[in-house]
Amino acid sequence: MTVQTPSPHPNPSGVPEQIAFDRSELGVILSLYGRAVAAGEWRDYGMSFLRDVAVFSIFRRAAEVPIYRIEKRPALRSKQGQYAVIGQQGQVLRRGHDLRQVLRVLERKLIRAVE
């Protein structure tokens, strides 16, 4: 009797089953988040990893709707840029190819709040 190890089913489309932030992207996001928490502006966060988008949601309080969403949509990589910051009402505050540049819109708001 021979024992065969099961092989995982290959993903036929080649598209990942879920989109996620990598370690360096999370480091940039959490650095900004930590500064905002220290300033008393933000209190909680949530992350969602879906088939076509990864979302980092920022909350002022845990029981509210997110005040900002940082989204990663790789399908838009060659068009508008895969990163976006979206406001509470659903407006796109900034979109681009470089996460640090896109997050500057939130850093400016944080600097104003501290002063």
Q: What's the pLDDT tens digit per position in 36-70?
A: 888 888 888 999 998 999 999 999 876 678 899 99
**pLDDT reading at 2 higher than 80:** no
Q: CB-based contacts of 87: which residues, under 8 Å, 6+ apart?
A: 67, 68, 93
Long-range residue pairs from 42-47, CB within 8 A, at least 24 positions apart, any chain: 42/67, 47/21
**pLDDT reading at 102 higher than 60:** yes
pLDDT of 60 = 85
Number of H helices, E strands in the chain: 2, 5
Q: How far apart are CA 36 and CA 39, in angstroms?
A: 5
Residues paired with residue 54 on neighbouring β-strands, in sequence order: 49, 72
Mean pLDDT across the stretch 1-18? 64
Question: How does residue 14 score in pLDDT terms, banded at 50, 70 and 90?
Answer: low
pLDDT of 17 = 77
Q: How far apart are CA 55 and CA 53, in angstroms?
A: 6
Answer yes or no: pTM beyond 0.75.
yes
pLDDT of 112 = 56
